[in-house]
Structure 1
Amino acid sequence: MHAGQIAGAMSNSPSSFAQHHVAAALQFAGNDSLRSVLEAIGDSIWDWDLVSNEVFFSQPYKRILGYADGEFGNHLSEWTRRLHPDDAPQTLETTRAYLAGEIPVYDNEHRLQCSDGSWKWLRSRGALVACTAEGKPARMMGLVTDITPTRLLHEELKKSHALLTTFSQQLPGIFYQFQLAPDGSSFFPYASVGIQDIYEVTPEQVRRDATEVFNKIHPDDLESVRAGIMESARLLTPWHHEYRVQLSSGERWLMGDARPEKLGDGSVLWHGFISDISKRKLAEQKLSAAEQQMRLVLKASNQGVYDFNILTGEASASPEFARMLGYEPEEFSDSKKFWRDFWEHRIHPDDIPGLKKAYQTHFSNSKGKDFHAEFRQKTRSGDWKWIMSLGSVVEWNHEGRAVRMLGTHIDITERKKAEEEARSSQELLNASNSRYKQLAQELDILISNAPLGIMFATEGVIVRANSALAELCGFASAQAMIGVQTNFLCQDADDYKAFSALVAPKLLADEAVDVEWKVKRVTGESFIARIAGRALPSENYVRGAVWMMEDITLQHSMLDALTSSERRLQRLMNSSLVGIAQGVVTGHLTDVNQVFCQLSGYRREELIGQSIFWEMLFSEQDRQTCQQAYEELVATGSVAPFELMLRHQDGHKIPILVGLNYLESSRNEWVVFAMDISERQRIGQLKSEFISVVSHELRTPLTSIRGSLGLVEAGIAGELPPKARHLIHIAHNNSVRLIGLVNDILDMDKLVSGKMIFRTERLDLAQLLENAIEANMAYASSLKVHLRYSEHPPRALIRADSDRLMQVMANLLSNAAKFSADGDTVDICLWQNGQACRVEVTDHGPGIPASYRPHIFEPFTQADGTNTRQQGGTGLGLSITKTLVEKMGGKLGFLTGEGKGTTFWFEFDAAE
């Protein structure tokens, strides 16, 4: 069964979906944080999104099957491919019926494959907790329980009964239990169906009284049969007897074997097997008559007679001797080669040693004794026949050696077959008796050690129970439950009648019973139990049933807690001041809070289960930003907050700050936090406009101040005193720095507002770098730093604005010089690799601290280092540089290591 089939059970549900399911779903709908609560409890839960077929499986769930967290994916297909094929149709039907509102409770048993390839039986119970806007099922949650021991015990019971039935049907006889009571009455507690052929009675006729069987025994054999039974009962020794029975079809010979055991009430119970040996007896009688007749006519008859000379090997045989082996007399061996041919070609190799020994024994000491041997002889067709050879030495020489022997061969193949069949039957009987006892012992061990309560009940009375049931029901021991009426489990007489009415139809139909019922212990304490049972086979037992029981009160309490927690978490989610939305990898929303609905202008029902909300709420560019953020989350496990424009239902746009992360313990589900930043952006815009206005107003007077101070410092107003000249020098330098700061601020304002003009042209990057190095050489020399233009191709053509690219190089070269020690060298390299040209500016300074690297291109930021403060700077240079490069279609980045220096690089596509 595929995941699509189960999904189909939801999508094909009738439009008149049961109202009570819808109501329950709306009450249960809530935040998946509940999983943390349930996992803390340690239970095995599942959470199925019916829209996306994503399924959350808790760690205890996976541990039941032997899987680690990463080995069992959170998708319905991961579950369905492990579902046992035989359980798929029933699972699909149960899911369909529940989602269609045909059954009130979702409760299903099925097998799943473990990590080691084995199968485990699980019981899954759950409830619908969410619906779509159209009232379709959207989400189910539930618990699973490992019921493998219960199911295995049930299967063992079925196998044991099936095995006994198979044995009884295949063997020419009957398995039986015969019980002799202390008062002399006897009956058969169990008899296989073969009793109808052996005694012409049914198992039911002798279950309470064995008289019908004894009436069938031949009068001449009845006393010996009874005597044997009594002796076996007295000594507890195995009973074996061969006797005749008189049936409507005629007389038959039977052979019985059984082993007795003493019961607690003084009775003796035999376990045994009775087989029909009529054919064997008939064959023995015929053989005995034939052997006797053979001895009487041996010397007067030529049937199968041989006569051979022991010394020369010459022999002769009667025609019947030859025909016995499929030959005509004239085709048989040359009389002169008879003896050699007999040993080399006629005798079965396995029989040669024994036959030779028999001849040697007879030749050495045959006075008054006939020769007798049984062996296999090959026929003309290549088959083997069993031959019984009877004979005697009839001539001796003067030395006392045997010279001549006469004898006859008799075909005993049929007798041997009968003996083999009898031996096989006996071996099978012994094996069957042994297996029967073994099965009984195994069943007793299973019942005694089962973790669930088990009892056998007949006509409302307990006839057998295990310790687990006694403990569950408040009895001192299992023995104390024997003979107790089962109605003590029910609350009252009406409750007992209601339970009986529920289970009786299934028991009578030989179907399994599985119900949940409120029962009570013998102490009067009530609890909720799961009760499973099945009727015992009526043809072999008094009508009754076997029952299994377990206390599931805790599971019911946990389901109640699940409902309560879901409602509480939903209230907490809706009380948040930030918009919250949950979804799955397919893009479908699974939950939103009220704040998110207010931000978007849509009702919750309009968003749940939808994937088109991306087009409804965001522009194409913002959707790409979301996709990039999600890809970063998948790759790194986290993503920094980012800004988007949310499109309200009425059309106006709202700037929001977005946080994105996975839901706990799931990489298939995500959560988004959205905060309205309209007011923050308005304040930021006011700040930018203020800075821009102030910068424009400051540049003109600052330019005049710089010029005037430069003239005064140059001495145009006359020679100044040393202290005054020093102060004028400081003022002039600071005015230069202020003008640089104002210019950087204005450049940044133009870049942000899009007012900066770029004049893109085809230019030679190699030549531009030479010009930039020459222009910045004096500044580097003032810092005692050397600029070295090392490796570069003779020409590298790109498309860019030469003035802005010179500004980029000035920023990078001045930065590298600032952070270099006296006497250091700044290396400038130009590389052309295929379709890209790359420039690298490398210093050998202290490097960029790790804490500053993520913020290096942000405006007004500087590394808090001593050298930086000594060299000065506005904190805008790198931000402007990065923006300029990207506006011209290039890329900018850096490589650094603390104490190892820094390399800033930028790349442009090569011009054609």
Structure 2
Amino acid sequence: MKKHMHSASPASCPSDQIKGRDASVNMGTHAIAIETMETALAAARIAVFELDLVTDTSNVSETWRELMDVDLSDGLDFQTEWRKRIHPDDEALIERALADYVSGRTPRVVVEYRLRSRDGLDWLWMRTDAEATEWDAQGNALNLVGTQRDITDRKRAEIALQTSEEQFSSLMNNAPIGTALVSLEGKWLATNAAMTVFLGYSEEELRSIDFQSITHDDDLESCLLNVQKLLSGEVDAFEIDKRYVRPDGEVVWGHLCVVLVRSEDGQPLHYITQVLDITETRKLDFLRNEFMSIIAHELRTPVTAVVGALDMLDVVCPNGPFEKVQQLVKIAKRGGDRLRTALEELLDFEQVSGGTLSVNLSESNITEILGEALLKSQPAMHQHKVSARMILQESEIFWKCDPVLLDKALGHLLSNAAKFSPEDTEVRVVVEMDTRQLRIRVKDSGPGIPDNLQDKIFQPFWQQDTSDTREQQGIGLGLTISRQAIRKMGGELSIEPCDGAGAEFLITLPACPLR
């Protein structure tokens, strides 16, 4: 391309002088605009370069030199310096981007690549955008003019996110527990193999329905209520046991865990759900409940009849020639009593541990409840030749409790105290209260409980002496039932340190007394 130059006449007319002044103003404005643009590019850390493709040399901006950590005084050839620091794996990528542009397949050169830092300790990510501004007669590009930017932070964030997504995807797909992403509307966005096996639907089938449509009708309201708590921010996650209905109508149980994923500004995005198949566990629970029901209805009644008949026979044949019969009757009666007690403890344990026992808190006369419990414990006290005494802070005490549960706990504690107390000793029941607590202490004079066993005594079926010839019989549920009964009322049952012999159990019931 030829450049045409025009010279002005020495004797310029005034109008020519005005035009000259206008040209000077325009050139000054243009220079300011260029300077402003350069300042903006420098502030944005955008480097500018021009590459002469014929001589393979470059002209670069100050920002380019800053990005590359080179200086004019270094005497480096900029193009050579740039090329030798390109990551070996990215050289072909850059060449392909240039070839695509030159051949017309792309409108410009756009490429992201790695450059080694000048100290050689790190790899920096760069992005180059460039176009040619000069071409020869054959259509060959003679130069490239473009920009170069450091995008290291963005690329590292993208790589970290991609790695995280890949790890999550791998974890989700290979997890043995059903895992899924669910939209805010309840649509299944992604599911793993374990989830499709559990629900009985393929992933494609699940994508066309929502979780509400396969939730058992009796569990849907509870599930949706928990979802609302998640959306409102009341909870961060929730866990429930719920039923799902498979395509063939089969009902399966799952332990569902749900977490709500939010954006950086707190907006809900989707749910991450996990479902553990607990169908077999539920079936076993059902069978256990059926078994306990059979015990309650089929065994308790005949045992009661046997014991009742033996009681009557004991009255009819108190002495005389029937001494042998009387002795055998008493043995049978003791065995029947033990069997009845064991059955009652099993049923009580099933109720308090299985969550089927209802709690009815009301203002109750604690003195009366204690008196009835002591009266019921008299046969055991008489058998072991032990007495019992109640010590009250006031003649009448009213407190909020469940009378049935409190009576149940006291019965087990008094029975234990009688069994383990030496003959001719006293079991004391001490009742104290203040504005915060009601405290009931049951203390015996027996051998006590070693410190190293005090954490174990509340475990189901635990026995300090496990031999068949142990002196005190029982199935080891009394203290477990007692603690669970007290906890159902919001209280606590604990064992207290004792001075001297004996064991002391403390029932604590919170809240202010009702007057």
Aligned to 1:840: 440
**1:136-186: CA deviation from partner (whole Å, max 9, x where unpaired):** xxxxxxxxxxxxxxxx9973796999xxxxxxxxxxxxxxxxxxxxxxxxx
The count of residues paired between Structure 1 and Structure 2 equals 414
Aligned to 2:243: 646
**1:359-406: CA deviation from partner (whole Å, max 9, x where unpaired):** xxxxxxxxxxxxxxxxxxxxxxxxxxxxxxxxxxxxxxxxxxxxxxxx
Contact residue 463 and residue 476 of structure 2 kept, 8 A: no
Contact residue 706 and residue 736 of structure 1 kept, 8 A: no
Aligned to 2:42: 155
Aligned to 2:100: 495
**1:788-827: CA deviation from partner (whole Å, max 9, x where unpaired):** 424346342768667x764553233223544667857544
Shift of 1:676: 1.8
Point out the structure with max Rg over C-alpha: 1
Structural mapping, 1:384-423, within 5 Å:
none
Residue 416 of structure 2 aligns to which amino acid in structure 1? N
What is the distance in 2 between the residues matched to 1:634 and 1:771?
A: 45
Aligned to 1:740: 341
Aligned to 1:828: 430
> Residues 739, 826 of structure 1: CA spacing in aligned structure 2 closer, same or farther, 3 A cutoff?
same
Shift of 1:652: 7.6
What is the distance in 2 between the residues matched to 1:625 and 1:716?
A: 72
Which one of 385, 398, 418 corresponds to residue 796 of structure 1?
398
**1:652-684: CA deviation from partner (whole Å, max 9, x where unpaired):** 8946252648799xxx96634242245334433
> Residues 903, 760 of structure 1: CA spacing in aligned structure 2 closer, same or farther, 3 A cutoff?
closer
Structural mapping, 1:58-207, within 5 Å:
155=42
> Residues 874, 606 of structure 1: CA spacing in aligned structure 2 closer, same or farther, 3 A cutoff?
farther
Which one of 101, 108, 111 corresponds to residue 515 of structure 1?
111
**1:531-584: CA deviation from partner (whole Å, max 9, x where unpaired):** 42468999xxx98446469999999999998888777656545xx5x6545669
1:676 aligns to 2:273 (yes or no)? no
**1:12-71: CA deviation from partner (whole Å, max 9, x where unpaired):** xxxxxxxxxxxxxxxxxxxxxxxxxxxxxxxxxxxxxxxxxxxxxxxxxxxxxxxxxxxx
What is the distance in 2 between the residues matched to 1:838 and 1:735?
A: 37
- Stretches of structure 2 that go unaligned for 5 or more consecutive residues are 1-38, 49-60, 115-124, 135-142, 262-270
Contact residue 841 and residue 903 of structure 1 kept, 8 A: yes
Give percent identity, aligned residues only.
Answer: 12
Contact residue 490 and residue 509 of structure 2 kept, 8 A: yes
**1:489-527: CA deviation from partner (whole Å, max 9, x where unpaired):** 5259953514795327xxxxxxxxx53489xxxxxxxxx
Contact residue 585 and residue 669 of structure 1 kept, 8 A: no
What is the distance in 2 between the residues matched to 1:748 and 1:839?
A: 24
1:695 aligns to 2:300 (yes or no)? yes
What is the distance in 2 between the residues matched to 1:694 and 1:613?
A: 41
Which one of 453, 458, 463 corresponds to residue 864 of structure 1?
463
Aligned to 1:894: 493
Residue 841 of structure 1 aligns to which amino acid in structure 2? R
Higher relative contact order (CA 8 A, sep 6+): 2
What is the distance in 1 between the residues matched to 2:157 and 2:357?
A: 69
Shift of 1:895: 2.8
What is the distance in 1 between the residues matched to 2:203 and 2:66?
A: 67
SS in 2 for 1:864: coil
Aligned to 1:813: 414
> Residues 623, 909 of structure 1: CA spacing in aligned structure 2 closer, same or farther, 3 A cutoff?
farther
What is the distance in 1 between the residues matched to 2:394 and 2:429?
A: 11
1:472 aligns to 2:72 (yes or no)? no
1:604 aligns to 2:203 (yes or no)? no
What is the distance in 2 between the residues matched to 1:736 and 1:160?
A: 96
Residue 671 of structure 1 aligns to which amino acid in structure 2? Q
> Residues 622, 503 of structure 1: CA spacing in aligned structure 2 closer, same or farther, 3 A cutoff?
closer
CA RMSD between the two structures: 6.6
Residue 440 of structure 2 aligns to which amino acid in structure 1? E
Shift of 1:764: 2.9
Shift of 1:618: 1.5
Aligned to 2:128: 532
**1:450-493: CA deviation from partner (whole Å, max 9, x where unpaired):** 9xxxxxxxxxxx9623646404277xxxxxxxxxxx99952599
> Residues 748, 602 of structure 1: CA spacing in aligned structure 2 closer, same or farther, 3 A cutoff?
farther
SS in 2 for 1:789: strand
Residue 698 of structure 1 aligns to which amino acid in structure 2? V
SS in 2 for 1:866: coil
Shift of 1:594: 1.2
Structural mapping, 1:9-24, within 5 Å:
none
Contact residue 658 and residue 674 of structure 1 kept, 8 A: yes
Which one of 68, 71, 77 corresponds to residue 447 of structure 1?
68
Shift of 1:737: 1.0
What is the distance in 2 between the residues matched to 1:732 and 1:891?
A: 38
**1:856-890: CA deviation from partner (whole Å, max 9, x where unpaired):** 5xxxx32232399643334454676678779xx94
What is the distance in 2 between the residues matched to 1:849 and 1:627?
A: 44
What is the distance in 1 between the residues matched to 2:294 and 2:47?
A: 92
> Residues 694, 571 of structure 1: CA spacing in aligned structure 2 closer, same or farther, 3 A cutoff?
same
Structural mapping, 1:758-777, within 5 Å:
764-773=365-374, 775-776=376-377
